[in-house]
Amino acid sequence: MSANVSRVVLAYSGGLDTSVILKWLQETYGCEVITFTADLGQGEEVEPARAKAEAMGVKQIFIEDLREEFVRDYVFPMFRANTLYEGESLLGTSIARPLIARRLVEIANETGADAISHGATGKGNDQVRFELGAYALKPGIRVIAPWREWDLTSRERLMAYAEQHAIPVDFAKKGKKSPYSMDANLLHISYEGGPLEDPWTEAEEDMWRWTVSPENAPDVSTVVEIGFERGDPVTLNGMPLTPAQLLTELNRLGGENGIGRLDLVENRYVGMKSRGCYETPGGTILLKARRALESLTLDREVAHLKDELMPRYASLIYNGYWWSPERRMLQAAIDQTQSVVNGSVRLRLYKGNAIVAGRRSESDSLFDDAIATFEEDAGAFDQKDAAGFIKLNALRLRIAAGRNRTQA
CATH fold match for the domains 7-67+94-177 and 184-298+341-360 = no
Model's pTM, two decimal places? 0.93
pLDDT in tens, 289-331: 999 999 999 999 999 999 999 999 999 999 999 999 999 999 9
User: Quick one: pLDDT band at residue 179, thresholds 50, 70, 90?
Assistant: confident
Class of domain 184-298+341-360: alpha beta
Between CA 283 and CA 269 the distance in angstroms is 23
What does the pLDDT average to over 112-118? 96
Residue 171 has pLDDT above 70, yes or no: no
Of the listed ranges 66-80, 162-176, 300-314, the least confidently predicted one is 162-176
Residue 82 has pLDDT above 80, yes or no: yes
| Residue 170: per-residue pLDDT | 63
Q: Which of 126, 129, 261, 327 is catalytic?
A: 126
Max intra-chain CA distance, the chain: 85
What ranges do the domains of the chain cover? 7-67+94-177, 184-298+341-360, 369-402
Residue 177 has pLDDT above 70, yes or no: no
| Residue 377: per-residue pLDDT | 78
User: Quick one: pLDDT band at residue 407, thresholds 50, 70, 90?
Assistant: low
Q: At what angle do helices 243-256 and 281-297 cross, to 10 degrees?
A: 110
Of the listed ranges 163-172, 226-235, 251-260, 386-395, the least confidently predicted one is 163-172
Residue 154 has pLDDT above 70, yes or no: yes
- CATH, domain 7-67+94-177, list 2.130.10.10, 3.90.1150.10, 3.40.50.620, 1.10.3720.10: 3.40.50.620
**CA–centroid distance for 1 within its chain:** 35
Residue 110 has pLDDT above 80, yes or no: yes
What does the pLDDT average to over 332-356? 98
User: Quick one: pLDDT band at residue 173, thresholds 50, 70, 90?
Assistant: very low
**CA–centroid distance for 156 within its chain:** 31
| Residue 153: per-residue pLDDT | 84
Q: Considering only CA atoms, which of 287, 283, 325, 354 is closest in space to residue 96?
A: 283
Question: Active site includes 126?
Answer: yes
Question: Active site includes 17?
Answer: yes
User: Quick one: pLDDT band at residue 406, thresholds 50, 70, 90?
Assistant: low
Contacts 24+ apart (CB under 8 A), 21-24: 21/117, 21/119, 21/146, 22/53, 22/56, 22/58, 22/167, 23/56, 23/161, 23/165, 23/167, 24/146, 24/150, 24/152, 24/161
Residue 174 has pLDDT above 50, yes or no: no
Of the listed ranges 130-139, 144-153, 214-223, the least confidently predicted one is 144-153
| Residue 3: per-residue pLDDT | 59
| Residue 373: per-residue pLDDT | 75
What does the pLDDT average to over 14-35? 94
Percentage of the chain beyond pLDDT 70 is 96
Question: What does the mean pLDDT of the chain come to?
Answer: 93
CA dihedral 280, 286, 291, 297 (to 10 degrees): -160
User: Quick one: pLDDT band at residue 126, thresholds 50, 70, 90?
Assistant: very high
User: Quick one: pLDDT band at residue 332, thresholds 50, 70, 90?
Assistant: very high
Strands, sheet with 181-184, edge to edge from the N-terminal-most edge strand: 181-184, 189-192, 273-279, 261-267
Between CA 60 and CA 83 the distance in angstroms is 37
Residue 155 has pLDDT above 80, yes or no: no
Using CB atoms within 10 Å of the CB of residue 172, give its burial: 0 to 12 exposed, 13 to 18 middle, 19+ buried: buried
**329 — phi, psi (to 5°)?**
-65, -45
Which carries the bigger pLDDT value, residue 70 or residue 167? 70
pLDDT in tens, 213-266: 999 999 999 999 999 999 999 999 999 999 999 999 999 999 999 999 999 999
